[in-house]
Amino acid sequence: MRPTPPPRTYRVKSFGCQMNVYDGERMAELLADQGIAPAPEGEEADLVVLNTCHIREKAAEKVYSDIGRLRREDGTAPLIAVAGCVAQAEGEEIMTRAPSVSMVVGPQAYHRLPQMIADAIEGRRAVDTDMPARTKFDVLPARRKVGPSAFLTVQEGCDKFCTYCVVPYTRGAEISRPFNDLVIEAEKLVDAGAREITLLGQNVNAWRDEAGRGLEKLVEALAAIPALARIRYTTSHPNDMTEGLIAAHRDVEKLMPFLHLPVQAGSDRVLKAMNRSHTAESYMRVLDRVRAVRPDIALSGDFIVGFPGETEAEFAETIKLVETVGYAQCFSFKYSPRPGTPAATMDGQVPAAVMDERLQRLQAALNASQLAFNRASVGKRCTVLVERRGKLDGQWLGKSPWLQSVHFIGEAAIGDLIEVELVEAGPNSLSARLLQPAHA
Ligand code: SAH
Ligand code: SF4
Ligand code: F3S
């Protein structure tokens, strides 16, 4: 590669989960610290970071078309860094397949971007997919301006090894960040404007500190930050829903009544083949315990249809589970074989047409469930955290405590917590009327 001038502007494009969004923000802060400015909207950046996701085949393939699209008419391209889970999984292969890429950096190594950029300027390409003992969190710069709802990664990696999933390979073993570091970062986020913090981890409810304290202790500590109004956490594993964390849904007012607890499938045979280590029944018992302390909790989940060997009868058990639970929202996916995972070579791969048809039926059931949940919310009074302006004059958009999108017309500002009554429900959002004038 030829030497290039130092980049003056950057753009970070994040795909995949919220942890990637968090990493993307941290990379942006790191680049800003190097004196590189965010590229203005609509203008080409000198440095583009593609912060990628490897969870399903389509997500991973997208990277190469995105790289291709960065090429300019004269055949040149900006400096390109591929970060995230595709970087971790494919490493050197990206360098071979995409000569215009000068940096490949994994999710645990991106704090080394400044050095990699310095090398790239001099024409040296570099791959860094280390998982160093001294973590990125120890060296990243302080948090800056954030929106009213901010993410905070508390736990990374996964030791569960579900047979379909790449995360244990791309993000490495489970690590929990230290309690005090997290409280400090939360305080910085609040100082920078956050009213709500969502604690993130691939298995966020497996978070434990050095003293063995569980996530509820962290939630309690953050609840003591006066200007922080709301706390959420995602994603949780059914087997790590402890008594203490469930009790926090009763005892900590700032902990929002929402739980994302993926089940993946309704058939115990499929769950076993997935290595989920819970049954449909044990999952339902966890939900019962949470509902016992917080009857209004909104439930959410993830589903995979067409896991190898899934029969029509087994799929029907997934639909039955959905109808029993009454989810407020959900994500559902067609099974995607991932290289290196045990399920990719299992017998009984389900034909694409069957998966399509099952996904449609599942989504119809999930949509009906979501609409029913929203309709049941009409008439409730609650707060809305205002996140942005709506399309109509004087309209604002925000989230209810149950993570529903809510719109209303009236006096407000971004970051306000506004008292409203929910008046009308659609499948994806609700409208509300103001109960009192805005307070800052
Ligand atoms: N740690 C979380 C989420 C991991 S990834 C959990 O355990 O639930 C987010 C979701 O992607 C998963 O819950 C699963 O539904 C889906 N997913 C993961 N691997 C997949 C694959 N190979 N094909 C289709 N969906 C997959
Ligand atoms: Fe993947 Fe399973 Fe770990 Fe979730 S718990 S990240 S689905 S291996
Ligand atoms: Fe994707 Fe990696 Fe997140 S594979 S879902 S970006 S952990």
| C-alpha–C-alpha distance, residues 227 and 194, integer Å | 8
CA of 342 to the centre of ligand 2 (A): 13
Q: What is the pLDDT of residue 437?
A: 60
Distance 263 CA to ligand 1 centre (A): 10
Residue that is written with structure tokens 């509300």 in the block? 432
Probe ligand 1: pick from 58, 203, 304, 305, max atoms within 8 Å of CB? Answer: 304
Q: Is 262 in the pocket of ligand 3 (CB under 6 A)?
A: no
Question: CB of 315 closer than 6 A to ligand 1?
Answer: no
- Please report which confidence band the pLDDT of residue 141 belongs to, taking 50, 70 and 90 as the band edges: confident
Q: Which ligand is in closest contact with the Cα of 60? A: 3
Ligand 3 binding pocket mutation candidate from 13, 20, 165, 338 (most atoms within 8 A of CB): 20
Q: Which of 46, 150, 59 is nearest to 102 (CA)?
A: 46
Ligand with smallest separation from the Cα of 89: 3
Is pLDDT larger for residue 310 or for residue 139?
Answer: 310
- pLDDT digit string, tens, across residues 225-271: 999 999 999 999 999 999 999 999 999 999 999 999 999 999 999 99
Global confidence as pTM: 0.95
Q: Which two tokens mark 9?
A: 């502007």
Name the pLDDT band for 3 (thresholds 50, 70, 90): confident
What is the percentage of the chain residues whose pLDDT exceeds 90?
A: 91
Residues β-bridged to residue 52: 84
Chain CA centroid to CA 418, Å = 26
Find the 2 Cα to ligand 2 centroid distance in Å: 41
- State in Å: Cα 345 to ligand 3 middle: 21
Q: How far is the CA of 52 from the centre of ligand 3 (A)?
A: 8
In this predicted structure, which of 8-17, 67-76, 320-329 has the lowest mean pLDDT? 67-76
Mean pLDDT for 23-29 is 95
| Protein residue with least CA distance to atom 4, ligand 2 | 202
Q: Is the pLDDT of residue 151 over 80?
A: yes
Q: Which of 396, 373, 377 is nearest to 385 (CA)?
A: 396
pLDDT at residue 440 above 70?
Answer: no
Distance 236 CA to ligand 3 centre (A): 15
Residue 146: its pLDDT value, please? 85
* pLDDT, average across residues 22-32: 95
pLDDT on residue 83: 98
Helices 352-377, 312-325: crossing angle, 10 deg rounding: 10
The predicted-structure confidence for 124-139, as pLDDT tens digits, reads as follows 999 999 988 778 888 8
* Ligand 1, atom 5, residue with closest C-alpha: 55
Please write the tens of the pLDDT for every residue from 263-281: 999 999 999 999 999 999 9
Round to whole Å and give the CA distance between 271 and 279: 7
State yes or no: pLDDT of 31 exceeds 70. Answer: yes
The string of pLDDT tens digits covering residues 173-210 is: 999 999 999 999 999 999 999 999 999 999 999 999 98
Rounded Cα–Cα distance for residues 402 and 381 (Å): 12
Q: Report the separation in Å between the CA atom of 382 and the middle of ligand 1, taken as the mean of its atom positions.
A: 32
Output the CA–CA distances (angstroms, integers) from residue 266 to 76, 166, 317, 336, 350, in the order listed.
51, 22, 5, 18, 17
| Domains along the sequence of the chain with CATH | 9-128 (3.40.50.12160), 142-256 (3.30.750.210), 381-437 (2.40.50.140)
- pLDDT band for 382, please (50, 70, 90 cuts): very high
- At 328-345, the pLDDT tens digits run 999 999 999 999 999 999
What sign does the CA torsion over 356, 360, 361, 365 have? positive
Q: Given a cut of 50, is residue 50 above it in pLDDT?
A: yes
Across the chain, mean pLDDT equals 95
The tokens of 31 are what? 């680049």
- Closest ligand to C-alpha of residue 304 is 1
